[in-house]
Each structure stands twice: as structure tokens, then as C-alpha cells.
Amino acid sequence: MEARKAKLLGILVILVAFIAFAFNSLRVTQFSIQDNNPTTYIIVVMLMLPLAILFSMRENLSLETKPANMAAGALLFALYFIIMSVMRGSLSFIFQAYRLDALLFPLALAALIVTLFGFKGLKSMRFVLIYSLFASPLLLFPLTALNAGFTSVNASFIYYLLKAVGVPVVKQGLVISAGGASHISIASTCTDIGAFIAILMFLLPVAYLFYGKLKNKVLWLLSGIGLMLLLNVLRMFAISMQWAYYGIDSAVATLHTFAGQVLFDIAIVIMVLIAGKYGLRVPAMRRSRKVPQDARNRRAAASPYAYAVPIAVALAIGVLGLIATLPYSSALYSNPLNFTDVALPSNSTVQAAITSSLEYAHTDILYTGTLYGSMVFSLQNITANSTQVNTSKRVFVLAGIATKPLDAALIGNASSLSSKHTVILRNGITVTSASVKSNSTLYVSYFSAPMLIAGNETTAYYEFLAQKGSAALCAPASGPVNRAQSAVYSMLSAGTANDTLLCAAYAVASNMR
């Protein structure tokens, strides 16, 4: 098999294996850019990443059959699994909320690339590795958080444009009025900063494919963002003019309905058509390079079956990655942007929300006051069945909230913990259980979860405590993948293999939606 065909075969195998690897991440991603959530730009990266892998045909790659490469690929996958287990165990629902699953894409790709193309392949395919990082919104989160400020600047610009053409308008905040009850609002959905990130992420792999000077590529990319900005300003100005002369109903029913998506597509087409003006061109197919001279690759070049082993290892990594990411589809998701600038709700509202969540424990709930700045509840459940007659089980709960998406932590700051272990539930919530030694030994289980309180996203903290011997304990059904990742995390955090939790804690945590 000639070198060019072998390279194409290797790239196709990486593509297939990575799609399997990323399947569950893709499945939980909405296939649309929402104008009220700029972090949804990541779908562009996820959809363009396979093309970026294919565009690696332009690189000088050589398919190899070295056992050391396959061993390194397997070790990188093991490292991926360990890091994912630690992140899921320590971050709880934040892992999925911040899409840290996608942040691990480079490590998955590195395992596949090293297996087939060796460590030289990592250098040759570095664009793909770096580009895959942006499949998580975490890197650009500071930029997406500026959406409100960006909207304000655009509203002022449209206001002055309307004034310049003689339209009698008045601006108050983001609202532009034209007398009486007639007004229009330049909302964040009109100037979604995520749309500009999306067009950049769409054009980046195309720029990678093109041949040309780096400075010309940068200028072309900046021109694409500028073109999108200009088209969006023209769209908002046209809608505003239609509102001023024909009314809000006419503006909303026509241009406002479809113009945004159409202009995004127009911008992409224009940028591809004018790429030649920047000295960029699509690469021509190169002549095949000479076959490498080492004996192993000479045998592989003579017979395509010699590549079967590294191909099988790469595909196995993809399948194992698919299995390892199965819990993604059932994990809780909460947009981190919903936690910005959130006001703390009233105590009565918090108490009602916490009480409602505790009802999943199917116990009698009594609010007893505050401790450590947190609300304290007493849960008591009297059962009567053939195996347990008139046995009282009492658990105390410390609960509080924060306006940030933080991970689980002890509220009461107990002085001594032992037998600590962590369980990742099916919904991605991490519940930690331990023994607390004070005057008597207590069982404790704690976790945090996202909650909608008074119309705002907050993080609710729960700490369940019960005396040893009087607590009802449960072994949660978390699934084999979550169980394996829980074991890895507990082992690395000096925990234990035991996964027994307080039943009340498990009932509440497992019912979080």
C-alpha cells in the first residue's frame, strides 16, 4: 500500500473511532445555536471537528505499526478514563454543565493519533488537537459572559443610526421608543456573541485547509467576523426601520423571523468565495511520498493487512470511549450563565424549595432552625412491615444555597472524617458518604445539586447526618460505568470501596432533575 493511501486509511480510522468516542457528547448537545445562550456555539466545533480530522490529509503523516505506539495509545486512554473519573467525582453536576466532557477531546484524539501515526503525528495534527479544545465553552466562557455588554453597545449604535436618518426615537436602556406605546428592544438575542464565535469556529478549519501565509489567514478570519458584524448591524437597522414606519407586527413577522440564520449562511458563502483575494487556495493532491525505509513499514506497505493491529487498537479505543461516556445522556445539565448576577432568594423561598426536594425521601419533615448558617431539618420515617415493625429512623439535614455552580462540600465542617467514599449517581450527582467521630459516631452523606428557586438557578447543598445504628443505609444502583468511575475516584482521593449511603440522601439526590 502506498504511503498516501496508508495515510488516508489512518485518518479515516481516527475519524470513525473518534465519532464513536464522542457520540454521547454529541447526543447531549442541541443541534442549534440558541440566540439566548451563546455557549451553544460549541455545536459548530463538534460538527466541524470531523472535517478538521479529514483536512489533516494535507499533513506529512506516516501510518506506523510500532507496538510502542499502540501501548502509548492505550496508556493515554487509561489516563483519559482516570482524569474523567476524577473530574466527574470531584465536580459532580458541574462536569456536564461546563461540558468538561468535550474539554477531554484532545486526550482522546491524542490516544488515537499516537496509536496510528506515532508521536510525530501529534505534532503534525496539532491544529486538530487545539481546535477540539473549543468544543467545550469553558475556554471562551469569559467572552460569552460579555453578552450583555455587547448588546448594550449594539443598542446604542442602532439608536444613533436611527437618529442619523431622521427617525424621532428615544433610548432608555435597551429599549428604543418612537412616541406613545411604540417601542422596540435590542435584546441579547439580537446580538448573540455566540454567533460571532460560531462563524470564527466554522472558518478556522477552512483556513487550516487552505494554503497561504499565516498573516493572510488571520486577516481572512478577522474579515469574516467583521462581515458578520456588519450584516448583523444591517439586519437590526432594517428591522428597526420597518418597525418605525410599518409597526412592530410587520417587523417581527418578516425580517426578524429569518434574517439572522440567512445572514450567517451568506457570510460563510461570501468568505469562501473571496478567500482567493487573500492569497488562500485549496491544496492540490500531492504525489505520494517514498515508502519509509524501516523493515516493519516496508512489510506494511507491501500488505495492507499489516496495519490491522494498530487499526484494531484504535477502533477498540473508540468503542471503549463510547462505553465510558454512556452516563452523559442521563446527567444533569445546568447552563453556567444562569448563575451570573443571581440575587439570593428570601429564606422563606429557600425553605419551601428545600422542603419540596426532601419530600423525595418519603419522611416526615420538620424545620428546626439554623446551624452553621444553614437550615436544619429533621426527617423521621416510621415503617411498619414484615421485616421492620415500628422502627423509627431519624436523619438530620443541613441545607443551604449558593448563587454559583459549586461542587459538593461539607456544610458543617465536621472535624473528623473516616471511611470516606463517593458514588456517582445515574444523573451525574456525586454523593459523598463518611463517618463522623464526635461524642458518638455519625454517618454523613453530602452533595450539591442545581435548583431553580424563585426563577433563578442556584446550587443547593445538602448534608445528611444520623447516629450509627439508627440510620437506614442503602446501596445505590448507579450503573456499571458510574460504579467503575466512582471506584477510581474514591481510590485516588484516599476513599474506600464501600458505596453505602444514607437512604434519605440517596433518595433526594437520585431524584434531582
- Where residue 446 falls among pLDDT bands split at 50, 70, 90? very high
pTM, full prediction? 0.84
3-state secondary structure of 178: coil
At 110, the pLDDT band (50, 70, 90 cuts) reads very high
Residue reference for cell 513499514 = 297
The DSSP string of 86-151 is: HHHHHHTTHHHHTTHHHHTHHHHHHHHHHHHHHHHHHHHTHHHHHHHGGGSTTTTHHHHTTHHHHH
Helix or strand holding residue 429 (H, E): none
Contact status, residue 474 vs residue 502, Cβ threshold 8 Å: yes
Pairwise pLDDT comparison (403 vs 355), residue with the higher score? 355
* Range in 22-26, 90-94, 276-280, 496-500 the model is least confident about: 496-500
In which residue are the cell numbers 460563510 written?
A: 268
Q: How far is C-alpha 110 from the chain's CA centre? A: 20
Residue type, 34: Q
The mean pLDDT of the chain is 83
Q: Report pLDDT digits (tens) over 299-326.
A: 555 565 778 999 999 999 999 999 999 9
CB-based contact 379:360 (threshold 8 Å):
no
Q: Where are the domains of the chain?
A: 3-137+195-211+248-331, 342-510
Per DSSP, the residues of 456-481 read: EEEEEEEEEEEETTSS-EE-----HH
CB within 8 Å of 424: residues ≥ 6 apart: 88, 89, 327, 430, 478, 482, 485, 486, 489
pLDDT for residue 389 is more than 50:
no
pLDDT at position 372, please? 77
388 SS3 class: coil
> 72 vs 251, which has greater pLDDT?
72
**Separation between Cα atoms, residue 104 and residue 118, nearest integer Å:** 20
Residues 420, 495: contact at Cβ < 8 Å?
yes
pLDDT confidence of residue 390? 35
Count of positions (residues) in the chain: 513
Q: Average pLDDT, stretch 85-111?
A: 93
pLDDT band at 250 (very low <50, low <70, confident <90, very high): low
More confident residue, 61 or 385: 61
Query: First vs last Cα of the chain: how many Å apart?
Result: 53
Q: How far apart are CA 409 and CA 121, in angstroms?
A: 42
* Rounded CA separation 458/449 (Å): 8
Give the whole-angstrom CA distance, residue 504 versus residue 362: 8
Can you tell me whether residue 61 is helix, strand or coil?
A: coil
Number of Cβ within 10 Å of residue 183's Cβ equals 16
C-alpha grid cell, residue 455 = 426563577
pLDDT at 291: 44
C-alpha 9 chain-centroid distance: 31
Query: If you average pLDDT over residues 216-233, what whole number do you get?
Result: 92
Sequence-distant (6+) residues with CB within 8 A of 362 are 381, 507
- Pure H helices in 210-346: 214-246, 248-253, 255-273, 295-302, 308-324
Residue type, 344: L
Percentage of the chain lying above the pLDDT 70 cut:
84
Collapse the DSSP code of 316 into the 3-class scheme (helix H, G, I; strand E, B; otherwise coil) and give the result. helix
> Pick from 58, 53, 55: which is nearest to 113 by CA?
53
Q: What are phi and psi of 167, to 5 degrees?
A: -85, 120
